[in-house]
Amino acid sequence: MRETLTHLTLKRASLQLGVHEQTLRSWEKRGLIRMVRLPGSGYRRVPVTEVERLRNEMSSTQARPAVRLAPPRRDPEALARAVALAETVRLELAGLEENATLDEVMAARRGRAWLS
């Protein structure tokens, strides 16, 4: 008679989920997955129920998008602000030197180097 597994090694869980082992470690750190540590060695074991839960969430077609897209406002005030902002950007770009680097432009804007 074969025992039913209740916990998987990190490697086996990552293979079943199709992610890297380090991804599971990161998810544990962020609280997205619960793992248990073996006494003494401290090796991680992933409950089978957690692997099943994550597999269901990852394959769900009902997943919420990470970014909510909203159509732009069309009221006259919003359009006037957009036109004014576009004109400000246009004037600012026209005033830049042609051979200026991004670092030089950002240093002038912020008072410090962009890349440092």
The per-residue pLDDT for 5 is 82
The pLDDT averaged over each successive group of 10 residues in the chain (116 residues) is 78 94 93 92 93 87 66 87 90 78 76 58
Across 1-116, the runs of DSSP E, i.e. the strands, are: 7-9, 36-37, 44-47
Task: Parse the chain into domains and list their residue ranges.
Answer: 7-59, 76-110
d(CA 112, CA 116): 8
Q: Using alpha carbons only, what angle is made at residue 90 by residues 85 and 92, rounded to the nearest 5 degrees?
A: 95
Task: Classify domain 7-59 at the CATH class level.
Answer: mainly alpha
Q: What is the model's pTM?
A: 0.50
For residues 44 and 34, the answer to whether their CB atoms sit within 8 Å is no
pLDDT digits (tens, 9 = 90+) for 36-60: 999 999 899 999 999 999 998 888 7
**How far, in Å, are 17, 36, 38, 70, 87 from residue 28 at the CA level?**
14, 10, 15, 32, 48
